[in-house]
Amino acid sequence: MKIDRLIGILTILLQNEKVTAPYLAEKFEVSRRTINRDIEDICKAGIPVVTLQGTGGGIRIADGFKIDKTVFTSDELKTIFAGLQSLDSISEVTKYKQIINKFSGGDDTVYSDQNNILIDLSSHYKNTLAPKIERIQQAISEKWIVYFDYFYDKGEALKKIEPYLIIFKWSSWYVFGYCIEKQDFRLFKLNRLWNLAVTDIKFELRDLPPSKTEFDQYFSDEINLVAIFDESVKYRLVEEYGVDCFSYAEDNQLLFKFPFTNKESLFQWILSFGDKAEIIEPQELRTEISQRLKKSLKKYSQHDI
Task: Report whether pLDDT(178) > 80.
Answer: yes
**If we measure between CA atoms, which residue out of 291, 289, 293 comes closest to residue 280?**
289
**190 phi, psi to nearest 5 deg:** -65, -30
User: Partners of 197 in the beta sheet?
Assistant: 147
Which of the pair, 263 or 236, is modelled with greater confidence?
236
Rounded to an integer, what distance in angstroms lies between the CA atom of residue 148 and that of residue 158?
6
pLDDT in tens, 72-102: 566 666 666 666 666 666 666 665 566 666 5
Which of the pair, 89 or 110, is modelled with greater confidence?
89
pLDDT the model gives residue 69: 45
Angle at 111 between CA 30 and CA 84, to 5 degrees: 35
CB 277 within 8 A of CB 269: no
What are the Cα distances from residue 149, in Å, to 125, 138, 159, 190, 221? 18, 19, 6, 11, 25
Most confident of 33-47, 220-234, 265-279: 265-279
Query: At what angle are helices 21-28 and 2-15 packed, to 10 degrees?
Result: 130
In this structure, what DSSP letter does residue 27 have?
H
Beta-strand pair 246-248/254-260: antiparallel
